[in-house]
């Protein structure tokens, strides 16, 4: 499979979020390569979007969002869960796509934390990161060059009729921005 390149991510965030559906999130852990099909994403569209971390400006936490497209933005929520985002658009315009849900295509029992996972579908960004061992050590990774984390094109084309949309989850604090239908998933 072909890795997605910078041109894919240097586009409007909402479009990237939609078009990431069906692509493969690939994680290399030791000698094992795990592929997970992306089935749910959310778009976070820069400084004006009050649900976006960058809406509060450039900070140590958000500086990767202000950089070039195609880099990973990994952060912790609630002091216990990591979330994986991919930076989008042109450098200086802080936007990213959150990878919410993916389904593992090539399971290896010794990789998955069987005591907590109930299926191959990694539902929620915290579970996805836990099971794929994605943490802050992978923040700021160049997804085009990394040997540990990258995204590949999918095997099949996703039809528009397969894509559903809804409001983003957990952003009630974001004023009118909480009502944006920028969550995309395969239905």
Segments making up each domain of the chain, as ranges: 6-186
Q: How far, in Å, CA of 78 to CA of 171, rounded?
A: 14
Q: What is the mean pLDDT of residues 11-38?
A: 96
pLDDT for residue 51 is more than 50 = yes
Q: Determine which of 6-20, 57-71, 106-120 has the lowest per-residue pLDDT on average.
A: 106-120
What tokens appear for 184 in the block?
């995309």
Question: What is the per-residue pLDDT across 92-115, written as a single tens digit (0 to 9) for each?
Answer: 999 999 999 999 987 665 555 554
Lowest mean pLDDT among 4-18, 85-99, 111-125: 111-125
- Please tell me the predicted confidence (pLDDT) of residue 10: 98
Q: Give the model's pLDDT for residue 119.
A: 59
CA distance 48 to 151: 27
- Residue 155: the pLDDT is 80
The 3-class secondary structure across the chain, one letter per residue, is CCECCHHHHCCCHHHHHHHCCCCEEEEEECCEEEEEEEEEEEEECCCCCCCCHHHHCCCCCCHHHHCCCCEEEEEEECCCEEEEEEECCCCCCCCEEEEEEEEECCCCCCCCCCCCCCCCEEECHHHHHHHCCCCHHHCCCECCCCCCEEEECCCCCCCHHHEEEECCCCCCCCHHHHHCCCEEEEC
What separation in angstroms does the CA of 129 have from each of 28, 30, 69?
Answer: 13, 16, 20
181, 41 contact by CB (below 8 A): no
Q: Is the predicted pLDDT of residue 173 greater than 70, yes or no?
A: yes
What's the N-to-C CA distance of the chain in angstroms? 24
Q: Which CATH number is associated with domain 6-186?
A: 3.10.300.10
The answer to whether 182 touches 43, Cβ cutoff 8 Å, is yes
pLDDT for res 108: 61
């Amino acid at each position: 499979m072909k890795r997605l390149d910078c041109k894919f991510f240097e586009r409007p965030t909402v479009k990237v979020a939609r078009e990431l559906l069906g692509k493969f999130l690939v994680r290399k852990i030791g000698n094992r390569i795990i592929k997970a099909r992306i089935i749910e994403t959310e778009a976070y569209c820069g400084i004006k979007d009050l649900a976006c971390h960058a809406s509060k400006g450039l900070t140590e936490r958000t500086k990767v969002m202000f950089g070039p497209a195609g880099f990973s933005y990994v952060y912790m929520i609630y002091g216990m869960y990591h979330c994986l985002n991919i930076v989008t658009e042109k450098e200086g315009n802080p936007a990213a796509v959150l990878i919410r849900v993916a389904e593992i295509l090539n399971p290896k029992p010794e990789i998955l934390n069987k005591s907590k996972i109930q299926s191959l579908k990694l539902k929620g960004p915290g579970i996805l990161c836990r099971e794929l061992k994605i943490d802050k050590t992978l923040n700021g990774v160049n997804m085009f060059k990394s040997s540990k984390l990258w995204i590949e094109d999918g095997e099949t084309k996703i039809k528009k009729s397969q894509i559903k949309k809804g409001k983003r989850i957990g952003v009630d604090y974001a004023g009118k921005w909480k009502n944006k239908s920028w969550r995309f998933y395969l239905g």
